Amino acid sequence: MKKVENINLGTIKFVIDTDAYDALENYLDTIESHFRKSEGCEEIMEDIEIRMAELFHESLFSANSIISMKHVNEVIAIMGTPEDFGATTRTRVNGSDTKSRKKYQAKRLFRDQDETVVAGVCSGLAAYFGVSDPVIVRMIFIIATIVTGVPLIIYAILWMIIPVARNANDRLAMRGEPINVDSISKQVEEELYNLKDTLEEVGKSFGGKKKG
């Protein structure tokens, strides 16, 4: 038994297996990103979808048949992949271009002082391993401490050996983000925002004191 999806391809309704649907969507995304730079991309995609709809229509046994992976592969073979379109040189250049732009610098372990409960060890570990929420790491630490007691010692050692992320560069390295003008300005913006919050809080507490 398989799950199916209903799709509208080139104004025709089709019923398609979920795995075939994923393959088809992936294929359309690939050629769309290939044609994105050329003029009339939308129209080209529309033409291609219409033609694919026609090919599916021809290859299906009856109007109630379901498009399977086999059909999708056949149609893709007829339409061709971007490499077949003879634009390999261009895509290759673009490929290396984006690769170099996305070159992430090696991650380094830091203690995150923006997100601390005790010393920022857990939040630093979370950033290093790409865990979205440091609370998860903290929970693991706490549970493991209750059960075995060992992580408490580990925490103390990590506290001593892991340096604090002091500046924007450190913080980017902590998350493994590339160091470039964009990311640094983003980081600086974040810091200014935090600073503003802190100043406001300080201002409030001062105001409170004066009144009291």
Partner 1 sequence: MKAQMRKGVLELCVLSLLEHAEAYPSDIIKQLKESKLIVVEGTLYPLLNRLKNSSLLSYHWIESKAGPPRKYYFITDEGKGVLTEMRETWKELNHAVESTTKQKQKLKQK
Give residues in contact with partner 1 (CB under 8 A).
10-12, 31, 35, 38-40, 43-44, 47-48, 50-51, 53-54, 57-58, 77-82, 84-88
Q: In the bound complex, what is the minimum distance in angstroms from residue 6's beta carbon to partner 1?
A: 16
Residue 41 and residue 32 in contact, taking contact as beta carbons nearer than 8 Å: yes
Q: In the bound complex, what is the minimum distance in angstroms from residue 5's beta carbon to partner 1?
A: 19
Q: Token pair for residue 108?
A: 């380094």
| Alpha carbons 23 and 67: distance in angstroms, whole number | 11
Q: Is 67 left (phi over 0), alpha (psi -120 to 50) or beta?
A: beta
What contacts 152, CB < 8 A, 6 or more positions away? 145
Considering beta carbons, is residue 82 or 151 the nearer one to partner 1?
82
**Strand bridging mode 12-17 / 4-9:** antiparallel
Q: In the bound complex, what is the minimum distance in angstroms from residue 154's beta carbon to partner 1?
A: 56
Q: In the bound complex, what is the minimum distance in angstroms from residue 86's beta carbon to partner 1?
A: 4
- Sequence-separated contacts (24+) of 34-40 with Cβ below 8 Å: 34/82, 34/85, 34/87, 34/91
Considering beta carbons, is residue 50 or 109 the nearer one to partner 1?
50
Considering beta carbons, is residue 38 or 100 the nearer one to partner 1?
38
Considering beta carbons, is residue 91 or 169 the nearer one to partner 1?
91
Considering beta carbons, is residue 80 or 178 the nearer one to partner 1?
80
Q: In the bound complex, what is the minimum distance in angstroms from residue 57's beta carbon to partner 1?
A: 4
Considering beta carbons, is residue 55 or 168 the nearer one to partner 1?
55
Distances (CA, A) of 165 to 131, 135, 172, 194: 17, 19, 9, 15
| Alpha carbons 25 and 19: distance in angstroms, whole number | 10
Which residues in 151-171 are b (16+ Cβ under 10 Å) and which e?
beeebeebeeebeebeebebb
Q: In the bound complex, what is the minimum distance in angstroms from residue 88's beta carbon to partner 1?
A: 8
Q: Token pair for residue 95?
A: 């490929």
